[in-house]
Chains A and B, each alone.
Chain A
Amino acid sequence: MAELLFEIPGIESGRAVGLFLIMGVFILGIYYMRRKKLPYIRRVAAIDAIYEAVGRATEMGRPVLCSYGRGGFGYAVIAAMSILGHVAKTCAETDTRLLVPTGGSHTGYLTRELAVDIVKGAYAMAGKPDVFNEDDMPFLSGEQYSFTAGYIGMLVRDRPGAVIMTGGHSSEAMNIAEMSNLVGALTITSGTYVSNMAALACASDYIMLMDEQPAAGAYLSQDIEQLATIQVIDIYKVMSLALIVVGLLILNLTGNNFIGRLLAT
């Protein structure tokens, strides 16, 4: 590691830059969340894919199965909840049955409460609160493997026309995607880590790569907090790109590892 560019008294050596970067996210985040004006966000292709999938299931007279992951309140799960809300609304409007498997981890019961509220709310908003059926949102299990088994059981029994598997799924995702392909459902998945992304890209009809899912969630919800999140992420992405480009240029043209030393730990 390169030697440090600077030290600040009172702060552990080599850690100041990390602290500043984190504080930067806080400051930018709060700033963008307080703004009244909704920012521009590109409409990602995943959104069309979702509507197409729901439409296909409706045409075929088969249900839609939409899950939001099996973890606790993470970044992916919260985005998935926005998507679930929209899927639920579309399903309610088109009288398509919606199945939502829940559970899958020790904290799965916490997220379930929110998911039920969201789906219930979507049905109410579509003017069909009486159509909502909580039995279509079963709590499968608090353990991963039997959650998966239950999920597959739902696929085989109810033969959905579309499977929208968003949020944080891990190794069970491949299992579900292949089984959903076997029962002939149009499958939309989201990858939350690299090997999972590569495998699901092969196994599903449409995949939301990396943070396309939060971007889709933010676009659909038009919620200022979610939009602000995407904005801050984009700023940091551009910043990291700039650091890499500038760092490489300075280092290789002048031999001065300025950025390397700035980021030294």
Chain B
Amino acid sequence: MFISQIFQIFIAFCLFTTLYGKGNPLRSWAEYTYLAAGTAMSVMWAWTYIRNHAVIGLQAGELIWIPAIILGVMMWFRIYPKYSYISRIPIAFTMGIGMGWSIRTNIFTQFIRQINATIVPLFGQGPMWLFERTVIAVGVITMMSFFLYTTEIKGAHQWSATFGEYFMYLAFGAVFAGTFMGRLGLFVGHMQSYMFPVWKQPYTIAIALLVFVAMLALERTGWGEKLSA
């Protein structure tokens, strides 16, 4: 367990050397290790899903899984250019079903519900409510008018579009800040897992320094680029 913990810290800091912007073998090693493990994990999970549904279902006598497995195997023919046409049927089938169930509900969640939530009584709930709801409606309308393509933007449309564009940049400021909070929270949480329990702290600091120095040394000597992938 101890070794695993130390290894985690080491491989994480190796990958952080990406920030320096130059190739080095530590980073390449970490990257390839991750790629190998990540891909292997996807394989295992795909298999588990197939087993828990199709294999167990078949054992219980559910015949519907037989075509599922046949279609799945047909999918593999995509990799032989000569027979890749065989894979078209499972692709058409999964794409078709997927298209069906995604648009059937997206029209409600993304279109109808959103328009409906914009149409609300403005008065009678205080000035703050009136202000916020008006801002939402005006914001949606003016921003959308900025994104119309089949008409020339001029006259009143020009006013609306310009206002919408400014409004959008105001929104971008807020959204950017929120995104930064998220990424920072992730980074802080990650570092926390290497700093607590407290016994990890000396190891973490030592490994961070070690990787940092190694990275600089590799860069200065020119070995970094040479040995990286």
Contacts and interface: CB of A to CB of B under 8 A. Distances in A.
- Are A and B close enough to touch in the complex, i.e. CB under 8 Å? yes
Interface of A: 1-2, 15, 17-18, 21-22, 39-42, 44, 109-110, 141-143, 145-146, 149, 152-153, 156, 179, 182, 194-195, 197-199, 201-202, 209-212, 215, 230-231, 233-234, 237-238, 240-241, 243-245, 247-248, 251-252, 255, 257, 259-260, 263-265
B119 interface: yes
Contacts of A231: 150
Contact of A198 (B115, B120, B176): B176
Given A143-B35, A199-B179, A231-B150, A264 B119 contact: no
A179 B145 CA distance: 34
Contacts of A42: 149-153
Interface stretch (B53-61, B106-114, B188-196, B199-207): B106-114
Given A41-B149, A182-B21, A198-B175, A145 B35 contact: yes
Given A145-B35, A244-B137, A265-B116, 9 more contacts: A18-B104, A110-B78, A145-B31, A145-B34, A156-B22, A197-B172, A209-B147, A234-B149, A241-B140
B92 to A, nearest CB: 12
Interface in B1-44: 18, 21-23, 31-32, 34-35, 38-39, 42
Nearest to A109: B78
A251 B116 CA distance: 12
Contacts of A245: 141
B145 to A, nearest CB: 7
| 8 tightest A-B CB contacts, nearest first | A247-B119, A198-B175, A198-B172, A146-B35, A198-B176, A195-B179, A234-B150, A215-B149
Contact of A260 (B111, B116, B171): B116
Contact of B141 (A22, A142, A241): A241
Interface string B118-129: 111111000000
B89 interface: no
A113 to B, nearest CB: 9
A241 to B, nearest CB: 5
28 contacts: A1-B116, A21-B111, A39-B150, A41-B149, A142-B39, A143-B42, A145-B31, A145-B35, A146-B32, A146-B34, A153-B229, A156-B21, A197-B172, A198-B171, A198-B179, A201-B169, A201-B172, A209-B168, A210-B147, A212-B147, A237-B147, A241-B141, A241-B144, A243-B119, A244-B115, A263-B116, A265-B108, A265-B116
**Main secondary structure on chain B at its contact with chain A?**
helix
Contact of A237 (B31, B148, B172): B148
Q: How large is the interface on B (under 10, 10 to 19, 20 to 34, 35 or more residues)?
A: 35 or more
Contacts of B35: 141, 143, 145-146
